[in-house]
Structure 1
């Protein structure tokens, strides 16, 4: 059977009405206390009509883990109600929504971060400055932050959770040998570098159970020698196949390095590696903005879902143009 963008897909027991995903994109509209606002309710509600799944922008699990001064968080019980209103607005269109849980690590906003932390005291750049290496006790407190964030995500009504392990933020920093130079059981071997992620995943599962969708976003490459590659990450995630329900594949962000060529589908070969090596749905992203390209990717089994971002910022109905027969010239 030919797979197309319009066909449903199941992720963690949850059936999505089609295979088009709205990628997580920061809105820079949170309050100083990291509360979601009316802007978020209107923004996500307006764009929920046609996509099968929306992934909320990066949502901080800790007050010291915000990516920018005006992003949103879920690090207190008071953050739940504004997020619940976003969920209601999206559900009104028979669309599912996942929350993306994150901590910025050494890339947390200096303007609102009291103590910059990372697995090792290695700076991202001069602007962020040098972080403090996390102690074991501090790591355990962060794991508990993720656990509480998962509990609050359930209370807010989200249909699933995406763990943000990409773009150079804290979980990614633990995974990559370029940013993790620890000599304890959180560093060194690939197994040790995944320990923080493993503990986060265990803590989240303890709150949400085994039937609730939990997916992960990764950067497939660090764009630097000695860094992560699609094959190395796939090998690191292999033990988690039964605990994760999908993988959302992006690239970069660990170092201040940009890919040399950002063309249509430039990240697709990385997604295809995960599709080949892991037994879980793969979400591809990266300038995949046409229906014909999306369907070809699905038909060739290079990925299972297609995520789009920027086109939906400028045109809330862009997803409809990708899902209609007219977009294929039919």
Structure 2
């Protein structure tokens, strides 16, 4: 029998300095509707506004911190002050529904869109595949410049009235490339040991925190596994993330998987990433967000009640049905 005081999808959750009304989160999902210059458009305003009812938190799609790091040619960006006004129209619309909204800051690294990338870069000169081509290995000064790009993006995120920041360190993009020994073969301070491979993420989070202060929510999306022997796995990620939590650099962890290599998991079933989220949660005190075909109220409630994760993120059903979150929250199977 479930006790009346058991945790559920309805239970409020605190992330950093904000309290979510429930534990259902809209995952970041690309819209492919940005302008050629990376501006958010009227589409984004209407898209996020129409999905803001019922959801506890919205995380905006990948938002590039550099013109040279866009994931797709029609990505949105936050790499100049001119982007701020367009993004603020999105946040102001969502706030009329009393829903918090986070921005997801990203850089594609070796997986940046070839159509709009002037110089493909990565921690090491190792290509993702033939379609992207071989990247140039970043110099220390270039790394420092990228960290400053995140710092400036954090400043613009606050100016655009976002309630928090998600740092994209998953799906094979730049920060993930630094974290994984498969893609990071550096022998300097930004490679080699686990500590070295974590340094770019640590320095990026510290630069963001220098702008936001300690009360502003900063979370990280990670890929729990590279789906290959010798790559990242949940145990390794737990050891990577714990010192960052201890130092107050992150307020929650959003657990996805894969993307570093052109390989797919053998079985994509409801909750297929949940065991990894639960394993990573064993290392951490900050909230852990589970994602991956968790589409029923009963499944989400069980995950939260059994403390396998602290919140659940959904993506594709919300693309198909703007009212899905309200229906899921209201449904008590």
Residue 321 (structure 1) shift:
1.1
What displacement does 1:137 show?
Answer: 0.4
Instruction: Determine helix, strand or coil for the equivalent of 2:105.
Output: strand
2:126 alignment partner in structure 1: 122
Is 1:313 the counterpart of 2:295? The answer is no
For 2:32 and 2:249, how far apart are their aligned partners in 1? 32
TM-score, normalising length: structure 1:
0.98
Q: How does 1:151-166 map to 2 (within 5 A)?
A: 151-166=155-170
Within-5 A mapping of 1:134-283: 134-241=138-245, 242-283=248-289
How far is the alpha carbon of 1:163 from its aligned partner?
Answer: 0.4
State the 1:238 CA deviation: 1.2
Three-state SS of the structure 2 residue aligned to 1:270 is helix
- Aligned equivalents of 2:153, 2:51: Cα separation in 1: 25
- Superposition deviation, residue 199 in structure 1: 0.7
Q: Per the alignment, in what secondary structure is the counterpart of residue 312 of structure 1?
A: helix
Deviations 1:223-249 (A, max 9, x none): 001000011011011111122100000
**SS of 1:194 mapped into structure 2:** helix
CA RMSD of superposed structures (Å): 0.6
Does 1:95 pair with 2:99? Answer: yes
1:58 aligns with 2:62: yes
Deviation at 1:318, TM superposition (A): 0.3
Distance (Å, rounded) in 1 between the aligned partners of 2:166 and 2:214: 15
Q: Does 1:79 align with 2:71?
A: no
Which whole-Å CA distance do the structure 2 matches of 1:188 and 1:85 have between them?
43
How far apart, in 1, do the equivalents of 2:210 and 2:168 lie?
A: 18
Q: Name the TM-score, length of structure 2 as normaliser.
A: 0.98
1:13 deviation in Å? 2.0
Structure 1 segments unaligned to the other structure (5+ residues): none
After TM superposition, give the deviation of residue 7 of structure 1 in Å: 1.5
- Cα distance per residue 1:170-200 (max 9 Å; x no partner): 0000000000000111010000001101110
Q: Distance in 2 between the 1:278 and 1:4 partners?
A: 20
CA distance in 2: counterparts of 1:273 and 1:94, whole angstroms: 33
User: Following the alignment from structure 1 to structure 2, what is the Cα–Cα distance between the partners of residues 25 and 160?
Assistant: 17
CA deviation map 1:15-46 (0-9, x unaligned) = 01110000000000000000000000000010
Tell me, in whole angstroms, the C-alpha distance in 1 between the residues paired with 2:249 and 2:77: 25
TM-fit CA distance, 1:130: 0.2
Counting only pairs closer than 5 Å after superposition, residues 18-33 of structure 1 correspond to structure 2 as 18-33=22-37
Residues in 1 aligned to 2:280 and 2:253: alpha-carbon distance in whole angstroms: 8
* Superposed displacement of residue 328, structure 1: 2.2
